[in-house]
Amino acid sequence: MEANELKESILRGTIQVFNKKGLKFTMDDVARELSISKKTIYTVFTDKGALFLQMVDYIFDSIKDSEQRIMEDDSLPLIEKIRQILSVMPEGYRDIDFRQLYLLKDKYPSIYAKVEKRLETGWENTIELLNRAMDEGLIRRIDIPILKLMLEASIEQFFQRDILIRNGLTYQEALSEVVDILVEGIRI
C-alpha cells in the first residue's frame, strides 16, 4: 500500500472509530478497525493529536470537493445551489457524530482552533453564489459577512455545547434547519 493510500485508509478508519467511540477512541481502536498494527499507524502519524489534526483537514477537504461538485452542477437552480453549499456534507460523512465535537474545545484546544479556522475560510464559492443571486433578484441585498457570521456562529455553538445531544438532533438536521431559516429569510 502506498503512503498516501495508507494515510487515507487510516483517516477513514479513524472516522469510523470516532463514530463509535467519540473522542475517547485510542490508536489501538483505529488499528483494530483497520486490522493493522498500531506501529503502522505511528509510521504515518506521530500521535493521536496529529491524527486528529489531519482528520479535520481530510473532512474539510472532502467538504470542499463536494462543494465544487455543487458549483459545477448546472441542473441545480441557483437558490438550491446556495442551500446545498451552505449545508454541504459529503455522503461518507453524514453519519459522523459531529455532536461530540463540543468536547474538543476543552480537551483538544489546538484541534478546536483548526476546526474554527476551517469554518471561517473557504467561503469564495458561497459568496459568488450569493452575489449572483442578489444580482439576479432572487434574494434580497444582504451584507454577506453578516450571513457568514450567523452561519459560523450557529455551527460553532453546535461544537461548543451539547445542545444537539440534549435535543436529540443530528448535526445534519440542525445544520439543515439553520440553512433553511437563513435562505428563506433572504429569499425574495
Q: What is the pLDDT of residues 163-173, one digit of tens each?
A: 777 888 887 88
Number of CB atoms found within 10 A of residue 145's CB: 10
pLDDT for 49 equals 87
Inside any domain, residue 176: yes
Enumerate residues 6+ apart whose C-beta is below 8 A from 132: 78
Which segment, 45-49, 72-76, 115-119, is predicted with the most confidence on average?
72-76
Map residue 187 onto helix, strand or coil: strand
Inside any domain, residue 113: yes
- 129-135, long-range: CB < 8 A, 24+ apart: 129/71, 129/78, 129/81, 129/82, 129/85, 130/82, 132/78, 133/78, 133/79, 133/82
Map residue 11 onto helix, strand or coil: helix
pLDDT digits (tens, 9 = 90+) for 96-114: 666 566 667 778 888 888 8
Inside any domain, residue 70: no
Cell numbers given for 188: 425574495
Q: How are the residues of the chain apportioned to helix, strand and coil, as percentages rounded to the nearest 5?
A: 75, 0, 20
pLDDT for 96 equals 65
Inside any domain, residue 17: no
Q: Mean pLDDT in the chain?
A: 86
pLDDT for 94 equals 57
Calculate mean pLDDT across residues 134-143. Answer: 96
Inside any domain, residue 69: no
Q: What is the pTM of this model?
A: 0.78
Q: pLDDT higher for 118 or 75?
A: 75
Inside any domain, residue 11: no
Please report which confidence band the pLDDT of residue 59 belongs to, taking 50, 70 and 90 as the band edges.
Answer: confident
Inside any domain, residue 148: yes
Q: Residue ranges of the alpha helices (H) in 73-170?
A: 78-86, 104-107, 109-120, 124-135, 144-160, 163-166
Inside any domain, residue 25: no
Please report which confidence band the pLDDT of residue 19 belongs to, taking 50, 70 and 90 as the band edges.
Answer: confident
pLDDT for 75 equals 97
Q: Measured on CA atoms in the order 154, 159, 160, 166, is the torsion positive or negative?
A: positive
Residue 135 has pLDDT above 80, yes or no: yes
| Number of domains into which the chain is organized | 1
Q: Distance between CA 176 and CA 87 in Å, rounded?
A: 6
| Domain housing 135 | 82-186
pLDDT for 102 equals 62
DSSP code, position 24: G
Calculate mean pLDDT across residues 103-128. Answer: 83
Q: Report percent pLDDT > 90 for the chain.
A: 47
Residue 134 has pLDDT above 90, yes or no: yes
